[in-house]
Amino acid sequence: MTVSSDAADAYGLYAAYGGSTISGDVGSISVTAARNAYGVYAYNTGSVNAVLDGDIDVASIGAGRAEGIAADSTGHVVVTGLGDLDVSASNGEARGISASNVSSADVSMDGDTTVTAGKWQRLWRR
68 backbone dihedrals φ, ψ, rounded to 5°: -75, -65
Residue 119 pLDDT > 70: no
pLDDT band at 18 (very low <50, low <70, confident <90, very high): confident
Radius of gyration (C-alpha) of the chain in whole angstroms: 13
The strand pairing partners of 32, in sequence order, are 4, 59
Give a yes or no: residue 84 inside a domain: yes
**Predicted pLDDT of residue 126:** 47
Residue 89 CB-density burial (10 A; 0-12 exposed, 13-18 middle, 19+ buried)? buried
Give a yes or no: residue 53 inside a domain: yes
Give a yes or no: residue 61 inside a domain: yes
Integer Cα distance of 109 and 111 in angstroms: 6
Count of domains observed in the chain: 1
pTM: 0.92
Give a yes or no: residue 11 inside a domain: yes
Residue 100 pLDDT > 60: yes
Give a yes or no: residue 124 inside a domain: no
Find the domain containing 73 and state its range.
Answer: 2-117
Residue 122 pLDDT > 70: no
90 backbone dihedrals φ, ψ, rounded to 5°: -65, -40
